[in-house]
Amino acid sequence: MKLLIVESPGKIKKLQGILGAEWRVAASCGHVRDLPNQGYGLEPPDFTLRYTETKPDVLKKLGTLVRDAEEVFLASDPDREGEGIAWHLKDALGLKAYKRVTYTAITPRDVQAGLDSPRDIDMNLVHAQEARRALDRLCGYKVSGPLCRAVREEKMSAGRVQSPAVRLVVERERAIRSFVSTTHFGVELIFEAVENISDGWKACWLPREGWLADGQEYFLDKAVAEKIAALRTLDILSCEEKESRAAPPAPFTTSSLQQAASNALKFKPRDTMAIAQKLYEAGHITYMRTDSPNLSETAIAEIRACADSNGWPLPEKPRTWKSKAGAQEAHEAIRPTHVEVESAGDTPQEKALYALIRIRTLASQLADAVFDVRVARLASDVDGKKAVFEAKGRTLREQGWKVVMAADASLADAEEAEPDNAVPDLKAGCQATAVQGAVKMKKTKPAPRFSEASLIREMEKRGIGRPATYAAIMENIAARAYVKEEKAFLVPTPRGEKLVDALAGAFGFLDLDFTSHMEERLDDVANGNVSYVQCVGAFHAQLMEELGRFVQAYAVPCPACGNREQFRHVYSREKGWNFWGCKACGAIFADDNGRPGLRQEKGAAELTDFLCEKCGKPLQHLQGTKKDGSGQYDFFACSDKACGAKYDNVDGRPVIRKAPALSEHTCKKCGKPLVPRPTKNGGVWFGCSGFPMCKARYWAKDDGSPDYDNPPKH
């Protein structure tokens, strides 16, 4: 029996059908080991990652299968994460003989090609995956604690990539808030019908030609615009005809698929990736995490054959596309595994995404769309100055790649709409008569808020993150309440703005250029040009230097001993903590609007004007944090320790606590009645009513009586 280990259980059925009975396909269900939940899991100078097993049951099952297998093939996904998973499996299962195989589509041809080309695990890719994990762990664990203390808000977290994403949203929102709109004017003339053009044709005034002062961007004089709009006879300066060609869009990368699915199908990025995963596992599309916009030679040949059979126009040579800088091109663009299959998927969402991918793939290899463009320039004098107008018309002559887009208009990328303006064939030196003119009042608008799709596009343009991370970033910044969605647009929350304000200028990872550079360093690790230790060590050194300055900037000295390093604001809404504590001297202070207030020491409480009802001595008001950190205390107690009377604080006044119910049992030590007390797990114990003079305690037996022979330790 041969064993093939993949990541996802969803692939097992398809692969088992391809490979046959002599194979056994099993899944690791993702990573089988990870960094520990507590602690950093790595330390300088070598930053070796300390892993813990996260799926012992899976490893046990795989170990049994490995022992019965003749050969073991590690077929996790063909990316850095998949390479890391393969290495963890090899190490955790103690594999001395294995074959690492990859394929970008689950089809008989692709899977067999992968099996025919086994290799060793690429440790450079593993180190790049580990470096990314280490950088994220250092950033999150080292910075998040000081960040929470600095902004005095719990559960704030810094992220090496997610924080720059939040910064983009915050800066865009602030630009919108500060934007001052400018009202400006344009002019449009409508000319008489020519050559049976019933609706006439339009020309727009070009204020840039002689009407704007140096540095002026918009025309602001409405009165002059009205004079220009009153023109009726204009000289024809020129009329040119030319051809315009539009190439098809490139095949989908991970980023462009998420953007197109958001615009055309209204899918969120995480949903797009989940649906694409299903299509991939079912063998309908190639691997859906890729930076490459190019297709394999085999795929191009199949697409051209499909286009030819449908009579669609083809260019002379197959198309190739220029990848963006830093793209990881280990495998091709996202495409159907069988382009002739028009519909695939089990759900309406899967069918819709498949259709989007298929049409984009087909269009990418078809001929250009060809337009006939006619541009006329006209002019007339106004107050001794020449007002120049332009009339532009465009007519589609050859559909080219648009022939496949026409099958479903919702799948076409949104293009900049151009008005239907059939400009007639005009002759230079003649005149044209306008029948109507209108002043067009316009207002400048700020850049729009980011949608999830446009934020991904901006991140990709700036080199922030990688295809596999975009969907998770969108989900994380929303789940952590740094941004919220309003009418399909992302808006920063006050919490998100507080995050950016605290980190900006303090940490390099929030700088957008730095983030892009770090992605390049990870690529260098993957290519073997930089070692894991060099990459992580450089980041750690800079981070610790920045962290030291950050902590000092927000540090508060202990009022008791002056220590800054070990004096902290301890706050938790869930646990009811809100105090300042010093580990150096042990002093505790109440919080006073974010600063240390009165010192909280049990023995130092001042006497109040209230008198003890039991003995008549003054009461003390005691408040602060319990020693075990389980919450706050606030009550009155008699200043005479021998009396021991305690009172609840009700609206600032002492109210005598009700006497506990006494049992019929007595204390073996002092003879006073015992008081039954409940335990946390629903049991019972007995305490002496003579407390605090007598501190005897007893467990309760099954019959409800005190167990005098086995008292609890206290």
Report the distance separating Cα 14 and Cα 105, nearest Å.
11
Token pair listed for 435: 């029948």
Report the distance separating Cα 76 and Cα 96, nearest Å.
18
Alpha helices in 192-240 (DSSP H): 222-229
Biggest distance spanned by C-alpha atoms of the chain: 124
**Per-residue CA distances from 52 to 31, 39, 49, 127 (Å):** 11, 12, 10, 18
**Per-residue CA distances from 54 to 30, 49, 51, 58 (Å):** 10, 15, 9, 9
98 given a catalytic annotation? no
Report the distance separating Cα 5 and Cα 213, nearest Å.
70
**Per-residue CA distances from 18 to 6, 12, 106, 119, 622 (Å):** 14, 10, 9, 21, 74
Extract long-range pairs of 380-386: CB within 8 Å, 24+ residues apart: 380/231, 380/233, 380/234, 380/235, 382/224, 382/227, 382/228, 382/231, 383/224, 383/227, 385/210, 385/211, 386/209, 386/210
DSSP run (H or E) holding 305: helix 297-310
Alpha helices in 508-531 (DSSP H): 512-526
Residue 12 has φ and ψ, to the nearest 5°, of -60, -50
Annotated catalytic residue, options 98, 103, 280, 287 = 287
DSSP structural state of residue 285: B
Q: In sequence order, which residues have a C-beta less than 8 Å from that of residue 299 and are 6 or more positions away?
A: 332, 335, 339, 361
Cβ(270)–Cβ(475) below 8 Å: yes
What amino acid positions are annotated as catalytic residues? Answer: 287
